[in-house]
Amino acid sequence: MKINVEVDLTPQEFRESFGLPDVRAMQQEVMEKMREKTLAAVEGYDPQKMLAPYLQESMRTMEQLQSSMWEALTPGSKPKKKD
């Protein structure tokens, strides 16, 4: 035996029928605070300052690679001795 029950309720009616609290006001307040904090965090955001340490290291690595390639390709260059 199979019994199907279909209930057509709005979210508000569902909450009321199960005795759940109406949290729309709280959700709205939380979303507003999140919006304020996000907008405050955007002020003063400078991606160039954030990426500067990484870019400097990358450029240093590239310069070292170019230097070693130049030494390897220069005729008459001698490999450096390691002590």
Residue 48 host element (H or E): helix 47-73
Cα 40 to the chain's mean position, in Å?
A: 17
Q: What are the residue boundaries of the structural domains of the chain, listed by start?
A: 9-42
pLDDT of residue 83: 56
For residues 77 and 71, the answer to whether their CB atoms sit within 8 Å is: yes
pLDDT of residue 61: 83
Nearest to 31 by CA among 41, 21, 23: 23
pLDDT of residue 56: 75
> CA 49, CA 66: separation in Å to the nearest integer?
26
What residue type is 73 in one-letter code?
A: L
pLDDT of residue 72: 85
DSSP state of 17: H
Instruction: Encode the chain (83 residues) as per-residue pLDDT tens digits.
Output: 999 999 899 988 988 888 998 888 999 999 999 999 988 888 877 888 777 877 777 778 888 888 888 888 887 666 666 65
pLDDT of residue 70: 86
